[in-house]
Amino acid sequence: MVGDRKTLSILQACQHVGVSRRTIYNWINSGKVEYVRTAGGSVRIFADSLWRKPEAGDAAGVEAEQAVQITA
């Protein structure tokens, strides 16, 4: 049900996963994220459809840290 799912604005979604607005729009157009249009025409992204959660941290940073640990 739409009312039970958290939605984010385009800008919030960008900040949430660390990508540009163009990337979010590309994801919308390719069906990679779920969204809804409000009565006013704004786009809201369903937070649970985004590929990275904010608590997961920066994946690239984690991989780089693991590489340092392996080589050290």
Which CATH number does the domain housing residue 8 bear?
1.10.1660.10
The two three-digit tokens of residue 70, written as one number? 């392996």
Q: Please tell me the predicted confidence (pLDDT) of residue 4.
A: 85
Average pLDDT over residues 30-55: 86
Q: How many structural domains compose the chain?
A: 1
Closest CA to 52 of 15, 10, 25, 22: 15
Q: Please tell me the predicted confidence (pLDDT) of residue 52.
A: 56
- Per the structure, the complete domain to which residue 63 belongs is given by 2-71
CB 16 within 8 A of CB 54: yes
pTM for the predicted model, two decimal places:
0.64
How many Cβ atoms from other residues are within 10 Å of residue 25's Cβ? 13
Distance in angstroms (rounded) separating the CA atoms of residues 69 and 34: 37
